[in-house]
């Protein structure tokens, strides 16, 4: 780009948003934009391979259904739009489902990297005010010594 300053000052995202988004900028739902709007037919959203070499794929329709179930679970736990849901999970399909399900109900997803120790997790939870933590059996012990640890599943 030859003239960055001109590009920045003349850039207008509204025509792009009107053309490319299904929601409104004032009430954008990331789950709708990233997944649901692509869920017609059998379009593949994710190809993955487990550590043991097993391969799998998930369609947008499957991810939409899993995210809806997880979003309903979060609602049943009392999570409301605007609440923060932290995720302490490895990079597997369940992580994507947790993110999409959180977005689906209007909550905010906060990543917690699995390499973090308890003090780093505690600091981030304290700053974010997360009310819920989604984790797996391997990472769950990292939460044992955290003061005022929110609920986890």
Q: What is the CATH number of the domain that holds 28?
A: 3.40.50.980
Structural domain including 144 reads 13-152
CB atoms within 10 A of CB 135: 21
Per-residue pLDDT band for 31 (boundaries 50, 70, 90) equals low
Q: What is the pLDDT of residue 95?
A: 92
Report the domain count for the chain: 1
Q: Look at residue 4 and tell me if it is in a domain.
A: no
pLDDT digits (tens, 9 = 90+) for 41-71: 888 888 888 888 899 988 888 888 999 999 9
Q: Look at residue 1 and tell me if it is in a domain.
A: no
Q: Look at residue 62 and tell me if it is in a domain.
A: yes
Round to whole Å and give the CA distance between 23 and 57: 27
Q: What is the pLDDT of residue 145?
A: 79
pLDDT digits (tens, 9 = 90+) for 87-140: 999 988 899 999 999 989 999 999 999 998 888 888 899 889 898 999 999 999
Of the candidates 23, 34, 150, the residue with the CA atom closest to the CA atom of residue 99: 34
Round to whole Å and give the CA distance between 144 and 56: 33
């Amino acid at each position: 780009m030859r003239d960055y300053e001109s590009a920045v000052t003349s850039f207008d995202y509204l025509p792009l948003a009107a053309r490319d988004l299904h929601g409104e900028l004032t009430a954008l739902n990331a789950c709708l934009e990233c997944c649901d709007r692509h869920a017609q037919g059998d379009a593949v959203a994710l190809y993955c391979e487990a550590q043991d070499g097993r391969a799998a794929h998930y369609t947008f329709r499957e991810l939409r259904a899993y995210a809806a179930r997880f979003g309903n679970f979060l609602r049943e736990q009392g999570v409301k739009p605007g609440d923060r849901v932290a995720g302490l999970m490895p990079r597997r399909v369940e992580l994507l489902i947790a993110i999409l399900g959180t977005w689906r109900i209007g909550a905010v997803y906060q990543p917690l990297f699995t390499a973090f120790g308890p003090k780093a997790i505690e600091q981030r939870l304290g700053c974010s005010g997360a009310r819920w933590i989604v984790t797996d059996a391997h990472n769950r012990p990292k939460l044992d010594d955290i003061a005022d640890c929110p609920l986890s599943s």
